[in-house]
Structure 1
Amino acid sequence: MSMITCEKLMGAENAAKVVIPSMDPFDYTSTQQGLAIGIVIGFTALAFVILCIRVAGRVSSHQFALDDALVCIAMVLSILETAASYMYIRTNFIGIRWQDIPPHDPVPGLVWNYAIEILYNPILALVKTSILLFLQRLFGHRPGVRRFIVWLNIANIGMMIGVFFGVILQCIPISKTWEPTLEGTCIDRRVLFTVMSSFNIFTDILMLALPMRIFISLKIPKRTKIALMFVFLLGFLTTITSMIRLALLVQGLFMLKTSLNPDANIGFVISAIETNLALITASAPALRPLLRTWFPKMFRVERDGITGNTERRVLGTIATRMTRLKSQTQLQSPTQRQSEEAAMPFNGIIKKTDIVVLRDKGVDNSRPSTAPQGLGSQQQTEKWI
């Protein structure tokens, strides 16, 4: 068995050598550890599949935009976080009872934990920016909503940059992060991670409240409104996971009493669940048009008419309707019409031309438009749904 020699600082003159046996962490496993690895890899794989479906739908419809690119970047970071989480679970003996953990060098586990801390916050921040850009594309024509989205996005990006450098430079020198015995200083990491998690929950709540407030004011059928609110409320699953993670984080950082069994505790996987749930729920609204195309009977959208009967929703604009009208009615060219009028004998009676006006069912074109100011948001939403 190979040996690793670590010097523990006992003073400037005397330094005691502590000999720690070098154990291969891959030789130790348990059912709990296998479950932890399965959860981390399983949620990442599910998020990857859903993201691929989203990207395929966006590319096929020529609608791939910046919000989709940001989610793709977050997915790459999530895959890297999954690899680091796997190594941390192995090297830190997560899921193994403390009585069965052999003496080992803790440095590799702390290094992988440091990598996870760096990757965690940018994933959530990029996903939130993607969602905010999506909401701005839907409802950005409203000045108040646009300002709210812009300021919330600025706060989100600013927090991402600040936390990123705060995590990297949490200890000076940086190597003190995984070598606590080195000389140097560290910030109060308990405050850093608690504030970071609290801010994530706060922004989650604001982002959930915004579309709900807008959907309530839209004049669309109740069934459609409930479906849209359900799709966006899927993000609440991520918020619940964030709250659970914050509770576990506070208990661990501040050494509070907990009812959790310390033996083979796999609460660490909550971070991977949170980040991948964010990716999944962020892709849910983008999947609705694609699912409506694949399963029209299940995801069809209906619109209530003035008479109360369910009518087919008209998606075309006035120009589109005129194009359809022209395609149904054959119009004669001016030259052809003049030749016919020249051949017609004049009998002293003025010629009359009948004009037939076709109207959409349930729409009164004779009255001036009195659409409310929020109609643009409704039309934009209808194009999305």
Structure 2
Amino acid sequence: MSEILKRATFEATNSHQLSIVVVPIITGALATACVALRFRARYIQRLRCLFDDWLALVALILTWIFQGVNLAAVFAGGAGLPIETVIAIDPTAVTTYLKIILANFSLWVVTVSVVQLSILFFYIRIFSVNKVFAWLSYVMVVLVTTFAIAGLFSEIFSCVPVSKSWDPTVNGTCVDGKSYCSAIGIIHVVFDLAIVTIPLPFIWRLKIAKGKKVVLSVLLCLGLVATIISLLKIVCLFDLTGIPQADVTDYLWLTILFQTVELPIGIICCCVPSLKPVMGEITAPFNSLASRLLSYSRRTDGQASSNVYASWSQSGDAGTDSKSQFVRLDSSFAHVGREGVQHDASAQAEEYELSRPSDNKPKDSNAINVSQTYAITRL
């Protein structure tokens, strides 16, 4: 691979090439974060990492190697460029491209199978008490492993001798490309659907809250995204580009792109159900910020209320002519039961009930009986 990269003679200039270069970085980073959080969750729980955890890590490593192979296809093989352009720049690049594509599909079939095995062993660990489900999971493990081995060897030896895969002038034979592509693609999609749907009946039989059943089902069904991508990338069944198959360097650009998305999404889906213990650490900063904002809002409201009450109790300078100002209290505040009013006649505070008049109060010329709630301040 290093020798191939040394011969890099192409630049990513069009949208086909740029998508193959940029998208894997984004999806790969997300997958890496999920695997790291998965191991963090095990650490928080003080649990040792099990076989499904290590398989997720292996799948991540293989995915990054796979992304490196795709970069080599762009920069050394001219992937995403019309074949006429590739030949004009470097006539030997087509041979390099075909070698890389052989490595691409061989590595893909292994990596995607490791992702599926990680999910299956996670099922076995979680639902091991259900013998029927455990038995079905082990059957799927055998089928997926068989598919990985058979797919790897059938890809490598799709042409005999192997060199005929990248050199059409060599005498030999190759399997029918369309039939092989259809078989591998359909088997993989069927396995994806089986892995996603097998746990659902068992989840809905669990004696847990219905809301938790829905959440678990949704998490497992995230794998359907990878299944849809797997289906769309079968170029022998769905021609989404309109590029003729003879244009080998540009014909498979969308398939390569879908592969760079499919594998990381599969890793993310196999990790998400394990991340509950670490979600508290992720959401803690946001919860803290929300608490501070709520506390600040309450303090601000409290200060505003204090200022309103303070304005009611203020009084002006004493004068010989007394004047009273009536201020209607807002309906959103509780009624004031008793309020102190200072008047010149006795030079001391007397209490009058303002919420309703009372016949038992002493008759006083300075007393004011009102039927509605007011606050009285001296001017």
Matched, 1:153 2:141: yes
Deviations 1:265-316 (A, max 9, x none): 74131111111111111111111232146548999xxxxxxxxxxxxxxxxx
SS in 1 for 2:204: helix
* Matched pairs, number: 271
Q: What is the one-letter code of the residue matched to 2:21?
A: I
The answer for the alignment partner of 2:14 in structure 1 is: 30
Residue ranges of structure 1 left out of the alignment (5+ in a row): 1-22, 253-257, 300-385
Q: Would the aligned equivalents of 1:171 and 1:177 in 2 still touch at CA under 8 Å?
A: yes
Whether 1:67 and 2:52 are equivalent positions in the alignment is yes
Cα deviation for residue 101 of structure 1 reads: 4.4
What does residue range 316-355 of structure 1 map to in structure 2 within 5 Å?
none
Alignment CA distance shift 1:211-1:292 (3 Å): farther
Aligned to 1:123: 111
Shift of 1:229: 1.4
Letter of the aligned partner of 1:40 in structure 2?
Answer: P
Q: 1:166: which partner in 2?
A: 154
Among 61, 77, 80, the alignment partner of 1:95 is 80
Cross-structure match for 1:144: 132
Aligned to 1:271: 259
1:53-64 equivalences in 2 (<5 Å): 53-60=37-44, 61-64=46-49
Per the alignment, residue 192 of structure 2 pairs with 204
User: What runs of 5+ residues in structure 2 fail to find an aligned partner?
Assistant: 1-6, 288-379
Q: 2:73 matched to 1:85? A: no
- Identity among equivalent positions (%) equals 22
1:185 and 2:185 are equivalent in the alignment: no
| Contact 1:245–1:271 (CA under 8 A) maintained in structure 2 | yes
Q: CA RMSD in A?
A: 2.7
C-alpha distance in 2, partners of 1:235/1:145? 19
- Aligned residue for 1:57, secondary structure, equals helix
For residue 50 of structure 1, report the CA deviation from its aligned partner: 1.6
Task: Give the greater-gyration-radius structure (CA).
Answer: 2
Which residue is equivalent to 1:356?
Answer: none
CA contact (8 A) 1:29 1:96 kept: no
Compared with structure 1, are the counterparts of its residues 186 and 261 closer, same or farther at alpha carbon in structure 2 (3 Å cutoff)? closer
| Distance across 1 between alignment mates of 2:187 and 2:16 | 31
1:63 partner SS:
coil
SS at match of 2:237: helix
Q: Mapping of 1:251-266 within 5 angstroms?
A: 251=238, 260=242, 266=253
Q: Residue 40 of structure 1 is aligned with which of 24, 28, 40?
A: 24
Shift of 1:185: 2.0
Match of 1:175 in 2: 163
Query: Does structure 2 conserve the Cα–Cα contact (< 8 Å) formed by 1:51 and 1:72?
Result: yes
Pair 1:51-2:35 in alignment: yes
**CA displacement, residues 167-200 of structure 1 (integer Å, 9 cap, x when unaligned):** 1222222122111111122222332232111111
1:341 is aligned to: none
Q: Is the 8 A contact 2:72 2:100 kept in 1?
A: yes
* CA distance in 2 between partners of 1:261 and 1:165 (Å): 28
Q: Could you say if the C-alpha distance between residues 130 and 215 of structure 1 is closer, same or farther in structure 2, counting changes exceeding 3 Å? A: same
Letter of the 2:118 partner, please give it. Answer: S
**Structure 2 residue matching 1:26: 3-state secondary structure:** coil
